[in-house]
Amino acid sequence: MDLAWSDADRAFQDEVQAFLNAELTPDLRRRGKGMTSVYADYDTTLAWQAKLHAKGWVAPAWPVRFGGPGWSAVQRYIWARETARVGAPPMSPMGVGMCGPVLIGHGSPEQQNYFLPRMLNGEHWWCQGYSEPGSGSDLASLQMSAVEDGDDFICNGHKLWTTHANVANWIFCLVRTSRESIPQQGITFLLIDMATPGVEVKPIIMLSGEHIQNDVFFTDVRVPKANVVGKVGEGWTVAKYLMQFERGGGVSSPGLSMRLEKIRAMAFAEDLTLDRSFMSKLAQAQIEIEALEAIELRTMSKLSQGEAPGAESSLLKTVGTELSQKLTELALEAGGLYAVPFQPHLTYAGGPTPGFTPPTDGFGAGPDHAWTVTAKYLNDRAGSIYAGTNEIQRNIMAKAVLGI
């Protein structure tokens, strides 16, 4: 793996910095800085996506023939690092980062021609229909049914923890089209228009007060068979391919590094630099982030050669989310008493905060560096659960890497 930066890479870095300086407005920077969720809210994401689409930079990992920029592994890392450095709002990965690669790898030409351009321009906003009541970590036990009826499937079931289903207009779902002795068989990967009669969305409010997650109910929902990705009954293969991108298709170390620098600045502001125990925790976090960065660069090199991340995606997901949680704990410690007030009106959450009435004066308690830390801490508790629990990821690594 050769990741030495060439003159062309340094020129690309200059181009990225110039673009960000020109297009990342003060409002978008403020929204990125005030984020408390993994993803930005719908309006913020669409505003930023429009600028990226005009430049042709919405989908860093996509091939040129599908509308991507054709960047190398180093260029994608530079992009991730520079956007993290300036606090650009992250893109929701459900379409461009997850369903898009699946359609590129497993979709029909008709599906690629229809869906991929609409992912890029923001016309289609996607959510993921995987988890069900009783089928989270054990996803193969899912029960949502899809029964053949002529050229359609009739779908009935219940998905939950569905991020941004309240604003999405499309959902990719795993559904059961037959019952086999092996539960992973008989599952089909299906694309469903959220406007179809029989689809109902109900909110799930998170610990942080945000409405990001949702229940999605399907009652006699008619879906064309043309919306099957891959083959009927072989959706588990498609899903495993997708989850490699969900868990390890991007890089998190640049964002973690920037967050660590903010916590270090908080430590200076709150006179914690003489607290040897706290500063030791910061140093340990930096070591772990740099180790994660090395693995991410290796994985990006594999992706640039057309390889899927493989078992490393489980490692990246596990280490990345646990490091993120560790940083939220350090931020709470640095914020001290200033982290106590609930102040969502001073942040940019991933969705609305139902039932909260902001104070009429619009002011906040404490310094601005403490406004987001509690909401971020509460939101990040889900990090070791979503995209497959970290316990399951360790099982995958034990089997695929250690052979046990």
Give Dmax over CA atoms of the chain in angstroms.
72
For the annotated catalytic residues, the residue numbers are 246
d(CA 304, CA 171): 28
Q: Name residues whose C-beta falls within 8 Å of residue 305's C-beta, 6 or more positions apart in sequence.
A: none
**Residue 61, token pair as written in the block:** 């990992």
Task: Write b or e for each residue in 287-314: b if 16 or more Cβ atoms lie within 10 A of its Cβ, otherwise e.
Answer: ebbeebbebbbebbbbbbeeebbebbbb
d(CA 396, CA 155): 31
Residue with tokens 């795993």, as numbered in its chain: 174
E strand or H helix at 217? strand 211-224
Task: Write b or e for each residue in 370-382: b if 16 or more Cβ atoms lie within 10 A of its Cβ, otherwise e.
Answer: bbbbbbbbbbbeb
Residue 97: Cβ within 10 Å count: 22
